[in-house]
């Protein structure tokens, strides 16, 4: 039972700049935490963030021009998805030169300018390293396909077919076979993604050396780390054993497969260790695109000796259906108990936006605030996706001929592709949401009229205002930065309640995950608060909090955060 009383408190919004350490290795607190453990990361999809030269496609100068916005929001590090030269078959994830900038996005000088602008504001810049494959237009692959004896032949995976058939039954995750016959040398090459993205052969030491050198190139240019793309797919069974076929069909109408021979091979971890030791030479941080089905798999990506990725992303919450307090509680509890530093993500450029996933048509903004409070108050680091902070929604193509993402063309209508979650950032309510003066490469959704930065900055109750307040608290409150996670009311099916506790500091977080009002009750005495006083830090309530006696009335999909202290009566 709840025994306390509540004091309201105003939250001052100010610039909460945690001082950055001189070097990245230097701990930033008494707990020995590194800068990235206290940082808020923000993913920018460069095609869609800000278009400085009005060609309909975002660019590096566009990103640089928004640094004040990011600083004010509370962002400490920006991960930019690939901005390297690319034929753009997979919108940058097909890299044709790892050590340059695509002219579509600007020049190397623009990149240096972006890093400098970020640095002035204590924001770090991370790039995306596409480790598994290059573009088929990369000079390595061009040479590789030129003859069986070419210097780079063994930089990719070439095999003879079986008669007129590919070497085995492996499938590309983007549709069709994972093998493409090259007429010149009459061998097949392997591609887990599009045929224009041939897999690099990481068993070849020359590939390994070249790729590690790429990371050095960028570290020396001031990059603070990388998000590593598609790490699960780095190695394949050298015997090319067929994958077991499972019942049912996938979105492309092909048989489901257990990809045991071309995904998550143990050798992946050797490469993670090598990438890590190179990153360590520069005090840099590695984020992993780590798709795992359980916490134990996720644990493996930190490395047995903590010598792999500092930040393997926990992408599991992105697959949760609906809003079940119980599901989140179990997952968070398991991640927390695993003992590593969690990295929470609720969406990205490959996943339907969280706003769209959970919107019920009635409480949409409330749900966006509740999801924000969920992942931004947990122990660990968060990686936000641009536009989440303003409640951007998906804008999926309405017909096949509108689709840009090739998987949407191939898999239509079951697979609509990823255009919907990659639409231009909504800066204001003018034409094209202020992203560009010309028609952008993808259409903005109609909701940009209400959900945009300028309008939301003026509205104290907007999703953006809520994010700013939350991020300010996250940077300032020791309990949110350092505290452990204590679950309360573990059998409540509707309300997720927990305390973040650090020494004498404790913060209570109450999230009503249901669409109806709930009366939340909690007993804080086991935490040593026999007569607690709650000072409100932040709520998303629409009405003033009144009538609280034994229980806390929680509006549908609402957030309540308060600092807990012991009243003198209870001492
Ligand atoms: C994962 C990236 O996030 C996705 O956008 C891309 O298509 C694949 N990897 C292939 O690089
Ligand atoms: Ca542009």
Locate the ligand 1 atom nearest the alpha carbon of residue 230 and give its number. 9
Ligand 1 proximal residues by C-beta, below 6 Å: 90, 93, 130, 193, 229-230, 289, 349-350
What is the pLDDT averaged over residues 334-358? 97
Q: Where are the alpha helices (DSSP H) in 66-128?
A: 67-73, 108-120
Nearest to 115 by CA among 187, 25, 218, 251: 218
Statement: residue 15 has pLDDT above 90: no
CB atoms within 10 A of CB 484: 11
Centroid of ligand 2 to alpha carbon of 105 (angstroms) = 6
Name the residue with the closest Cα to ligand 1, atom 6: 93
Tens digit of each residue's pLDDT (9 = 90 or more) over 219-241:
999 999 999 999 999 999 999 99
229 counts as catalytic: yes
Taking only the tens place, the pLDDT of each residue in 483-533 is 999 999 999 999 999 999 999 999 999 999 999 999 998 899 999 999 999
Q: Which candidate, 206, 341, 351, 349, places its Cα nearest to that of 287?
A: 341
Tell me if 362 sits within 8 A of 455, measured CB to CB. no
Dist CA 129 CA 145 (whole Å): 23
The band of 550, judged by pLDDT with boundaries at 50, 70 and 90, is confident
Residues surrounding ion ligand 2 at CB below 5 Å: 51, 53, 55, 57, 59
Higher-scoring residue by pLDDT: 151, 571: 151
pLDDT value at residue 569: 63
Residue 198 has pLDDT above 60, yes or no: yes
Ligand of minimum distance to the alpha carbon of 228: 1
Higher pLDDT, 283 or 569: 283
Q: Using alpha carbons, list the distances in angstroms from residue 486 to 499, 502, 507, 509, 526.
A: 5, 11, 10, 10, 11
Looking only at Cα atoms, what is the longest distance across the chain?
85
| Beta strand 495-502 pairing with 484-488 | antiparallel
Percent of the chain with pLDDT over 90: 92
Ramachandran sector of residue 552 (left: φ over 0; alpha: ψ -120 to 50; beta: rest): beta
Report which of 479, 481, 467 is spatially closest to residue 508, judged by C-alpha positions. Answer: 479
DSSP 271-324: HHHHHHHHHHHTT-EEEE----SSHHHHHHTT-TTS-S-SEE-B-GGGG--S--
- In this prediction, residue 3 carries a pLDDT of 42
Residue in 82, 193, 232, 383 to alter for ligand 1 test, most ligand atoms within 8 A of Cβ:
193
**Three-state secondary structure of 43-65:** EECHHHCCCCCCCCCCCHHHHHC
281 is catalytic: yes
Q: Which atom of ligand 1 sits closest to the CA of residue 94?
A: 11
What's the pLDDT at 21? 33
Whole-prediction pTM value?
A: 0.95
Higher-confidence residue: 547 or 427? 427
Rounded mean pLDDT, 83-106: 98
> What pLDDT, on a 0 to 100 scale, did the predictor assign at position 548?
67
CA-CA distances (angstroms) from residue 102 to 89, 96, 126, 129, 529?
A: 14, 9, 17, 15, 57
Peptide bond just before 413 cis, omega within 30 deg? yes
């Amino acid at each position: 039972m709840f025994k306390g009383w509540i004091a309201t408190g105003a939250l001052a919004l100010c610039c909460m700049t945690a001082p950055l350490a001189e070097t990245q290795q230097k701990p930033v607190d008494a707990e020995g935490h590194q800068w990235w453990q206290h940082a808020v990361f923000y993913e920018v999809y460069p095609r869609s963030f800000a278009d400085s030269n009005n060609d309909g496609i975002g660019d590096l100068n566009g990103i640089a021009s928004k640094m004040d916005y990011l600083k004010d929001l509370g962002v400490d590090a920006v991960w930019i998805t690939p901005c390297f030269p690319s034929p753009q078959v997979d919108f940058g994830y097909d890299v044709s030169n790892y050590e340059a900038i695509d002219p579509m996005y600007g020049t190397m000088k623009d990149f240096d300018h972006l890093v400098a602008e970020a640095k002035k504001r204590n924001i770090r810049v991370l790039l995306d390293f596409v480790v598994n494959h290059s573009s088929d237009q990369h000079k390595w692959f061009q040479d590789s396909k030129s003859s069986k004896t070419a210097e780079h032949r063994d930089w990719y995976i070439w095999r003879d077919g079986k008669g007129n058939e590919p070497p085995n039954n492996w499938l590309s995750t983007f549709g069709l076979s994972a093998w493409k016959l090259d007429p010149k040398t009459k061998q097949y090459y392997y591609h887990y993604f599009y045929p224009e993205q041939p897999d690099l052969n990481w068993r070849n030491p020359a590939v390994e050396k070249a790729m590690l050198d790429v990371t050095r190139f960028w570290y020396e240019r001031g990059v603070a780390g990388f998000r590593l793309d598609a790490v699960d797919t780095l190695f394949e069974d050298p015997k090319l054993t067929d994958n077991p076929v499972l019942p049912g069909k996938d979105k492309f109408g092909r048989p489901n497969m257990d990809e045991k021979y071309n995904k998550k091979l143990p050798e992946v971890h050797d490469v993670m260790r090598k990438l890590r030791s190179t990153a360590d030479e520069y005090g840099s941080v590695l984020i992993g695109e780590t798709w795992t089905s359980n916490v134990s798999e996720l644990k493996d990506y930190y490395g047995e000796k903590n010598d792999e990725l500092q930040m393997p992303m926990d992408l599991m919450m992105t697959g949760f259906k609906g809003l079940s307090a119980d599901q989140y509680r179990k997952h968070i509890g398991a991640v927390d108990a695993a003992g590593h530093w969690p990295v929470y993500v609720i969406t990205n450029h490959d996943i339907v936006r969280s706003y769209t996933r959970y919107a019920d048509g009635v409480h949409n903004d409330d749900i966006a605030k509740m999801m924000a409070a969920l992942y931004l108050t947990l122990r660990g680091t968060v990686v936000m996706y641009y536009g989440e902070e303003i409640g951007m929604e998906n804008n999926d193509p309405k017909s096949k001929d509108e689709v840009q993402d090739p998987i949407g063309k191939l898999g239509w209508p079951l697979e609509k592709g990823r255009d919907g979650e990659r639409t231009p950032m909504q800066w204001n309510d003018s034409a094209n949401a202020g992203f560009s003066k010309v028609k952008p490469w993808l259409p903005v959704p109609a909701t940009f009229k209400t959900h945009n930065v300028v309008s939301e900055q003026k509205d104290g109750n907007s999703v953006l205002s809520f994010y700013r307040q939350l991020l300010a608290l996250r940077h300032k409150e020791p309990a949110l930065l350092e505290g452990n996670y204590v679950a309360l009311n573990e059998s409540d099916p509707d309300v997720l309640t927990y305390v973040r506790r650090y020494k004498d500091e404790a913060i209570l977080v109450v999230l009503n995950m249901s669409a109806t009002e709930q009366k939340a009750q909690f007993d804080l005495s086991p935490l040593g608060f026999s007569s607690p006083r709650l000072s409100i830090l932040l709520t998303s309530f629409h009405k003033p909090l009144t009538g609280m006696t034994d229980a806390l009335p929680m509006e549908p999909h609402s957030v309540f955060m308060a600092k807990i202290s012991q009243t003198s009566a209870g001492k």
